[in-house]
A = this chain, B = another copy of it.
């Protein structure tokens, strides 16, 4: 896909360096960071130049491959892998990707680490394309989709999950239009999803998060589709704060509410959403917009990063294995089982 895709890969190997799209300067500029050593890559991860669970998994693996290519001793490479895994404390995918590449390096050397990283990246894009293929029929021809945050190419290595479904519908001639929630506090909808839609030529309009219910009331939304950070065995969905309110509003207006995510997001060991601990982030993200203070000095704020949408509000969960329907306790396990088979290694 790389050559002709209007959105370059979020992370890739380029002439001995790890090239990432610098998401800190989007949507103003499309700038690439070529990280030629582990230090600069760790810095890029820590400062959110690259973010999104699937993207970080691949970045962790490419980072170890980079260490294997630039460092002299095994000990140095192991230390680099540990530093990469710790670059963002709560990003489990980072450690997962670094660990896989390190294992390959320990067994088979430098080139094996890179082969694993490339495979993780290619696998991500293939699974996302499958999610799109399974989900596109949920988008009626000419339908208006509402989405939240960024579950697009930039959150992954390529193509995207929730936005991948919209993209697949677009590429399939269904002419979708998209309402994009700006997604305070960090504005991933305004900054990243709007940028992706612009690159792809998909008709998109930005709204403040508070406008979503009113759009539904006016009959301007045919379906809602969002990504997920984690999905419990019963189908409860943890996703960016604001998702739950959309699900409640969608139900009130009898609009379908879909979640699109790779099967790796399904956490069958977690029975329900009650067991998911919601990360609370720095209140400064709420008391500020960018660097500008918007609340009085000393103002208290509450900044949960995610919310939990109960399964009963979720119409279907689309993975690379198809669209799972309620009851999810019965439909989701097959997705986990089949996930290993649906993507063949390659090319």
Contacts and interface: CB of A to CB of B under 8 A. Distances in A.
Contacts of A243: 210
Contacts of A308: 214, 217
Contacts of A343: none
A184 B198 contact: no
A16 B216 CA distance: 51
A208 interface: yes
Q: Which of A194, A248, A287 has the most CB of B within 10 A?
A: A248
B287 A206 contact: yes
Interface string A291-314: 011111111111110011000000
A182 B182 contact: no
A187 to B, nearest CB: 5
Q: How large is the interface on A (under 10, 10 to 19, 20 to 34, 35 or more residues)?
A: 35 or more
Contacts of A198: 296, 298-299
Chain A's interface: helix, strand, loop or mixed, by majority?
A: mixed
B294 A205 contact: no
Interface in A297-336: 297-304, 307-308
Given A184-B182, A302-B211, A307-B213, A295 B206 contact: yes
A272 B242 CA distance: 30
A150 to B, nearest CB: 12
A57 to B, nearest CB: 26
Contact of A206 (B27, B299, B304): B299
B245 A214 contact: yes
A190 interface: yes
A48 interface: no
Contact of A28 (B204, B215, B293): B293
B191 A294 contact: yes
A12 interface: no
Contact of A205 (B179, B184, B210, B301): B301
A289 B287 contact: no
B245 A245 contact: yes
B207 A302 contact: yes
Interface string A280-294: 000100110110111
Interface pairs A-B: 8 shortest CB-CB: A210-B242, A213-B245, A27-B296, A214-B307, A289-B289, A184-B208, A206-B301, A209-B210
Given A210-B210, A214-B244, A245-B245, 20 more contacts: A27-B296, A28-B293, A187-B289, A198-B299, A204-B300, A205-B300, A205-B302, A206-B300, A207-B286, A207-B301, A207-B303, A208-B241, A208-B242, A208-B286, A208-B303, A211-B304, A212-B245, A213-B244, A289-B289, A292-B292
12 contacts: A179-B302, A182-B286, A190-B299, A195-B296, A205-B302, A206-B283, A206-B295, A206-B299, A209-B209, A210-B245, A214-B308, A248-B249
